[in-house]
Amino acid sequence: MVKIFTVENEVIDPILAEVVKANQGKVVCWMKGEPGAWGFLAGQAVTTIRRHAGRSLEGGERRVVWQRLWWWLEEVKARIHGEP
C-alpha cells in the first residue's frame, strides 16, 4: 500500500521544527525584521516539505506550510521574549 503524503499540521510540524532549528540565524533575522528573512525561511519550508512529499505542492498546500511556519516562528519569538 502506498502512503499518501498530506499537508496537515501533524505531518508537517516535525519537518517545520527542523527547518526552524536548521536556520536559526535566519530566524533571528526574521525576528529583527530584516528583508529577505521570511522569503528565505518560507522557501526552505516549501522545499523541505516538497522533498518529503516527493511531489510539488499545490497552492493551498503551500499556504498551509507558510501559515504553519509563521506559527512556529511566532512561538520561537514568544519563548525568547518570555511570553507564555
The pLDDT tens digits for 16-74 are: 999 999 999 999 999 999 999 999 999 999 999 999 999 999 999 999 999 999 999 99
Q: How far is CA 74 from CA 37, 78, 81, in A?
A: 14, 6, 10
Is 4 a member of any domain? no
Q: Identify the band that residue 1 occupies on the pLDDT scale cut at 50, 70 and 90.
A: low
Is 2 a member of any domain? no
Is 64 a member of any domain? yes
Domain ranges, residue 16: 9-80
Distance CA 53, CA 75 (A): 25
CATH number at residue 42: 1.10.10
Is 15 a member of any domain? yes
Tally of domains within the chain: 1
pTM over 0.85: yes
